[in-house]
Amino acid sequence: MPNHKASYESTPEANIFGFSMAELREMARRLRHHVVSMTATAGSGHPGGSLSAADIITTLYFKVMRHNPKNPQWAHRDRFILSKGHAAPVLYAALAESGYLPVPELSTLRKLDSRLQGHTDRNLTPGVEMSAGSLGMGLSFGIGVALAAKLDGRNYRTYVLLSDGECDEGQTWEAALSAAHFKLDNLTAIVDCNKIQLSGWTRDIMNLEPLNQKWQAFGWHTIDIDGHDFDQILAALQEARNTTNKPTVVIAHTVKGKGVSFMENNVKFHGKAPTPEEAEKALKELE
Amino acid sequence: MAVEVSTRETYGKTLIELGKRNPNIIVLDADLSPSTMTHFFAQEFPQRFFDCGLEEQNMIGIAAGLAASGKTVFASTFAIFASCRCFDQLRICLSQMGLNVKIVATHGGITVGEDGTSHQAIEDLALYCALPGFTVIVPADAIEAAQAVKVAADTYGPFYIRLSRPKTPLVYQENYHFALGKAITMRQGRDVTIIAMGIMVAKALEASDTLARQEIDCRVVNVPTLKPLDEEAIVKAASETRAIVVAEEHLAHGGLGSRVAQVVARQKPVSMEFVNLKDKYALSGKADELLQRYGLTAKDIEQAVRTVTKRAQGSL
């Protein structure tokens, strides 16, 4: 690995949404509102894991990442890779609210000829870094992106959002081994640990615990946080930036379906859209 | 006896040439670099070489991430692991995303030999040809291999190039020019066309020599690019000769034979025969013993030509 001294070229293109805590909270509410309304309109999709990730994605897009919606290919942008591709609705919502897409386009989710595919597609949606949907691939892709940063002497950061269920996939652990081996301190993995996978609680389907110790044993700096607490999310991402010589994983403890009372911790809403009646009720809660 | 040269050694040396020319080239391997010969590149450009360990799926994802960041990536391992072990990763990360990654796999086919069934990639071409956007190449010798690797480096998109373990006879001179997607007529003939790829090209030439003495005039066509296929050359062969024999070191389904048959059936139906590994795995043994046992010799091609000739003449 070449020991390039990272040279961040500051340019007016570096666009950081420096939201306040109140603004972050409001934006997360809007993203959740979009998620419910998009999946209800589509009649299918994965609201549960989108809602659990809303606060993490809000923090990244509106506070932490350097990115420019007017120039999605800006070479120095921080990269966000959604490995849990089924949470596409919440990513699309963040991309729309930050200016990559017109907000009304969100209602085309999953429709024929829409740019908003059921799972993310890099070649169709501006701002989407990776096509995903088959679980376990995002961290490997992120390693490639982070290696390229080191090779090119660029100091952009690479963030990969995984689900906890996705940690069942063997490839996740291949990637975990190699990211530590390559000493990728410019790579941060965030596990949206909502404790539920498609057919039940992760502890019943395939127990992952002790998850923190597993990542630690693989050579990662690990941080456990409440994934709905903006202060904790920000502090963890800052700690990741300050960590050298090894990658950091933020194990974000979240609630599946967070923000809608009857969707919270409800396995039914992993891969099922709310009915029109449920959506109406949910949207009222998210007013 | 023709001169025999290793395609994988040629690959390793060609990578160095490419690495000198293009600083954007990155090479990945999965703990097999002394065998795939990417270790030459690793020694020359240690900062641009990453050993991914025995993590083929991870390697494909890393390759995709590097390519998405503007790199031209070569990723190598044995053909069996480069196909069967990481097919979903190939599908999403390279085919769907259409990224600039070149999978150059060595130890293709049964000529890997003594390692046996687990190591003999004989369904790899069916798998790769099924992936939209992939260019699939099986060079006939080291001269063609070197050129195909260079063309892959200079052509955007995902490529699969299958090389062999043993040294293989040269069928070309140094002045040969490889053109992507083009078949090469190695020998003109009027009666039957033998279409071959990889190590079967040399055997097709040998068969055509023998058959010429029996007054069967064979055309020999090398099809190094399986995808996209040179349909024009195939239709021309079907129009100008009475029958076609396809010879390949691959299972019966989904390889060169299937692909040629699809073109012939649609555009110019003629009688066909297929020299391949049928629908069955092979065992351990020396490469030559296996080629004999499983029907991939010049004699097997000759037999297929005689069969298809009789059928075309209506006497079968």
Q: What is the pLDDT of residues B212-268, one digit of tens each?
A: 999 999 999 999 999 999 999 999 999 999 999 999 999 999 999 999 999 999 999
Q: Does domain A21-285 match CATH 3.40.50.300? A: no
What mean pLDDT do residues B69-95 have?
Answer: 98
Closest approach of chain A CAs to the CA of B47, in angstroms? 5
Question: Where in chain B is CATH 3.40.50.920?
Answer: 184-312
**What is the percent of chain A where pLDDT is above 90?**
94
pLDDT reported for residue A5: 38
Q: What is the DSSP secondary-structure string of A168-194?
A: GSHHHHHHHHHHHHTT-TTEEEEEEE-
pLDDT reported for residue B196: 98
Q: Residue count of chain A, please give it.
A: 287
Tell me if chain A has a CB within 8 Å of the CB of B24. no
Please give the model's pTM, rounded to 2 decimal places. Answer: 0.96
pLDDT reported for residue B222: 98
H-assigned helices in chain A: 21-42, 47-52, 54-59, 88-98, 138-152, 170-181, 202-205, 211-217, 230-242, 276-285
What mean pLDDT do residues A74-80 have?
Answer: 96
Average pLDDT, chain A: 95
CB-nearest partner of A144 from B47, B48, B66: B66
Rounded to whole angstroms, how far apart are CA atoms A119 and B271? Answer: 45
Q: Spell out which residues of chain A touch residue B66, defining contact as CB-CB under 8 Å.
A: 144-145, 147-148
Q: Spell out which residues of chain B touch residue A157, defining contact as CB-CB under 8 Å.
A: none
pLDDT reported for residue A7: 38
| Nearest C-alpha in B relative to A122 | B97
Interface contact B89-A140, CB threshold 8 A: yes
Report whether B57 contacts A140 (CB < 8 A). yes
B70's torsion region: left (phi>0), alpha (psi -120 to 50) or beta?
left
Tell me if chain A has a CB within 8 Å of the CB of B173. no
Interface contact A148-B97, CB threshold 8 A: no
Characterize the bridge pairing of strands B192-196 and A221-226. unpaired
Q: Which residues of B are catalytic?
A: 56
Query: Per the structure block, which two tokens stand in for A34?
Result: 């979009």
Given a cut of 80, whether residue A71 has pLDDT beyond it is yes
Given a cut of 60, whether residue B110 has pLDDT beyond it is yes
Rounded to whole angstroms, how far apart are CA atoms A224 and A253? Answer: 7
Where residue B316 falls among pLDDT bands split at 50, 70, 90? low
pLDDT reported for residue A127: 98
Count A/B contacts: CB-CB distance under 8 Å: 101
Given a cut of 60, whether residue A6 has pLDDT beyond it is no
Q: What is the ipTM of this complex?
A: 0.97
Where residue B312 falls among pLDDT bands split at 50, 70, 90? confident
Average pLDDT, chain B: 97
pLDDT reported for residue B314: 83
Given a cut of 50, whether residue A207 has pLDDT beyond it is yes
pLDDT reported for residue B276: 98
Rounded to whole angstroms, how far apart are CA atoms B167 and A7? Answer: 47
pLDDT reported for residue A8: 40
Rounded to whole angstroms, how far apart are CA atoms B275 and B23? Answer: 43
**pLDDT tens per residue across span A9-58:** 445 556 679 999 999 999 999 999 999 999 999 999 999 999 999 999 99
What mean pLDDT do residues A247-274 have?
Answer: 97
Query: Quick one: fold of B4-169?
Result: Rossmann fold (3.40.50)
Burial of A114 (0-12, 13-18, 19+ CB in 10 A): middle
CB-nearest partner of A144 from B48, B65, B88: B65
Given a cut of 50, whether residue B96 has pLDDT beyond it is yes
Tell me if chain B has a CB within 8 Å of the CB of A247. no
Residue A27: which of A38, A19, A16 has the closest Cα? A19
CA distances, B106 to each of B18, B49, B50, B210 (Å): 18, 18, 18, 31
pLDDT reported for residue B313: 86
What mean pLDDT do residues B139-152 have?
Answer: 98
Tell me if chain A has a CB within 8 Å of the CB of B31. no
**What is the percent of chain A where pLDDT is above 70?**
95
Given a cut of 60, whether residue B115 has pLDDT beyond it is yes
Report whether B244 contacts B238 (CB < 8 A). yes
Q: What is the DSSP letter of B92?
A: I
| Nearest C-alpha in B relative to A142 | B65
Interface contact A148-B92, CB threshold 8 A: no
pLDDT reported for residue A100: 97
pLDDT reported for residue A2: 42
Rounded to whole angstroms, how far apart are CA atoms B226 and B224? Answer: 6
Where residue A108 falls among pLDDT bands split at 50, 70, 90? very high
pLDDT reported for residue A16: 77
Rounded to whole angstroms, how far apart are CA atoms A203 and A226? Answer: 19
Given a cut of 60, whether residue B51 has pLDDT beyond it is yes
Tell me if chain B has a CB within 8 Å of the CB of A35. no
Given a cut of 50, whether residue B142 has pLDDT beyond it is yes
Q: CATH code for B184-312?
A: 3.40.50.920
Task: List, as ranges, residues 59-118 from B with C-beta within 8 Å of A.
Answer: 59-71, 88-89, 91-93, 96-98
Given a cut of 70, whether residue B315 has pLDDT beyond it is no
At residue A115, φ and ψ (nearest 5 deg) are -80, -10
Tell me if chain B has a CB within 8 Å of the CB of A122. yes
Given a cut of 60, whether residue B20 has pLDDT beyond it is yes
